[in-house]
């Protein structure tokens, strides 16, 4: 009996110790609503990282707590982050699909002593809002600059630009325009659509009427991008020979089965393709496909989340599990590793990720499925948006 009691007490003490050591990571993303698949990809990337690397860093157990933010809603984003910090006592904040949601959280980081690891939101300026922000995704400046050269090299001189009217859209418009004009091209018209736009027929008419040889487009990935590319095809723009240029948000892999031949041949520039040929990506795709349950649903937010967890694990290692946001961020400045997307670096000055940007073309595989085939690499791209902002 005595031995039983001692064993029971020891078990309680041990489990309390393990619990006390748990380091909580609060992840905010769209886990329900129209963008739920994007949030599901955050979770798949995190699950894949923890399946491959375990849930412990030294003696500390890592625990991820999720909060659902279905749409761009800065007030709710801030409230969720505050609740995670105050009630759940998370040491790290991470995730954030939409720019306004990430922006809303930057003012609370210093006081909360919490780094923010952005796994998607792609407006350049976010990292300038707090020294505690680190980003493992991309910016639309980074992904929209190289496609301007591609458009010029394709013999296109006049382009109409169409973007969603908020941070990453305005950045994409500016990035494309700056790079395209440098090549000698001309942006004949720049349309900014409300984020809520879902009937694209009037826009397609304006594109036709503009006389442009090509269209440059950015919308946040989800039902938005699927609807836009469908409309481009259904309104006869593709048939009329108006070329389509965009960052890879417009042809994310999870949209391709629904787009079918409508997307065939579309060229985009982006930091990640599920088809990327490397041992690191093979291991990642295997684990992430298992986590999401259907490989066809895998898309880029998964790799932003996977690498975001890598950064958080390095932060936990450097701080020995103690809450010290400044030390944690300092430790990952200049960090390099081979991501499933290719070689990457956390730029020590901007805390944004430097990475290859690939030109990809939507291609039909022998088995009838569609994929983004990498055809060219723009190596070690930093964020031109930060220089432009200065
Ligand atoms: C953003 O809001 O920053 C955002 C969302 C989805 C994307 C790109 C950027 O595909």
Tens digits of residue pLDDT in 156-213: 999 999 999 999 999 999 999 999 999 999 999 999 999 999 999 999 999 999 999 9
Ligand 1 within 6 A of CB of 101: no
Ligand 1 within 6 A of CB of 97: yes
| Shortest-distance Cα residue to atom 6 of ligand 1 | 220
Distance CA 371, CA 256 (A): 7
* pTM listed for this prediction: 0.94
Q: Would you state the CATH architecture of domain 141-270+358-389?
A: 3-Layer(aba) Sandwich (3.40)
Ligand 1 within 6 A of CB of 123: yes
**Residue 360 CA, ligand 1 centroid: distance in Å:** 19
**What is the pLDDT confidence band of residue 3, given thresholds at 50, 70 and 90?**
low
What is the pLDDT at residue 192?
98
**Residue 301 CA, ligand 1 centroid: distance in Å:** 10
The domain 23-138+277-351 is classified under which CATH number: 3.20.20.100, 3.40.50.150, 3.40.50.2300, 3.30.70.20? 3.40.50.2300
What is the pLDDT at residue 247?
98
Angle between helix 325-332 and 301-319 (nearest 10): 120
Pocket test for ligand 1, best of 28, 33, 95, 98 (most atoms within 8 A of CB): 98
Task: Provide CATH 3.40.50.2300 ranges for the chain.
Answer: 23-138+277-351, 141-270+358-389
Alpha helices in the chain (DSSP H): 2-21, 36-53, 74-86, 99-103, 109-112, 140-153, 167-182, 201-209, 223-234, 256-259, 279-292, 301-319, 325-332, 384-389
What is the pLDDT at residue 390?
57
pLDDT at 360 over 90: yes
**Residue 160 CA, ligand 1 centroid: distance in Å:** 21
């Amino acid at each position: 009996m005595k031995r039983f009691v001692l064993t029971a007490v020891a078990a309680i003490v041990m489990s309390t110790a393990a619990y006390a050591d748990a380091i909580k990571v609060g992840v905010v993303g769209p886990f329900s609503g129209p963008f739920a698949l994007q949030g599901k990809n955050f979770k798949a990337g995190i699950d894949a990282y923890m399946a491959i690397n375990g849930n412990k860093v030294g003696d500390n157990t890592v625990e991820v707590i999720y909060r659902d933010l279905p749409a761009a809603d800065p007030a709710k984003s801030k409230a969720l982050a505050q609740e995670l910090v105050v009630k759940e006592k998370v040491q790290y904040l991470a995730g954030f699909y939409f720019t306004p949601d990430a922006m809303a959280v930057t003012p609370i980081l210093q006081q909360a002593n919490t780094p923010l690891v952005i796994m998607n939101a792609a407006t350049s300026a976010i990292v300038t809002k707090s020294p505690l922000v680190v980003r493992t995704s991309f910016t639309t400046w980074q992904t929209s600059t190289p496609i301007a050269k591609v458009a010029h090299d394709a013999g296109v001189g006049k382009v109409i630009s169409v973007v969603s009217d908020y941070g990453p859209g305005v950045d994409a418009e500016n990035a494309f325009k700056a790079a395209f004009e440098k090549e000698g091209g001309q942006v004949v018209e720049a349309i900014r659509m409300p984020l809520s736009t879902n009937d694209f027929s009037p826009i397609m008419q304006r594109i036709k009427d503009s006389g442009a040889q090509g269209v440059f487009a950015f919308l946040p990935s989800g039902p938005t991008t699927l609807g836009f590319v469908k409309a481009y095809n259904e309104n006869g723009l593709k048939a009329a020979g108006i070329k389509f240029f965009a960052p890879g948000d417009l042809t994310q892999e999870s949209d391709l089965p629904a787009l079918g031949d409508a997307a065939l041949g579309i060229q985009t520039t982006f930091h990640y393709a599920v088809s990327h040929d490397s041992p690191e990506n093979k291991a990642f795709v295997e684990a992430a496909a298992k986590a999401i349950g259907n490989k066809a649903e895998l898309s880029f937010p998964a790799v932003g989340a996977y690498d975001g967890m890598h950064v958080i694990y390095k932060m936990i290692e450097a701080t020995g599990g103690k809450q010290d946001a400044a030390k944690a961020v300092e430790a990952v400045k200049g960090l390099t590793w081979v991501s499933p997307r290719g070689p990457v670096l956390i730029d020590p000055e901007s805390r944004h990720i430097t990475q290859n940007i690939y030109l990809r073309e939507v291609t039909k595989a022998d088995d009838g499925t569609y994929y983004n085939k990498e055809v060219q690499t723009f190596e070690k791209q930093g964020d031109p948006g930060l220089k432009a902002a200065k």
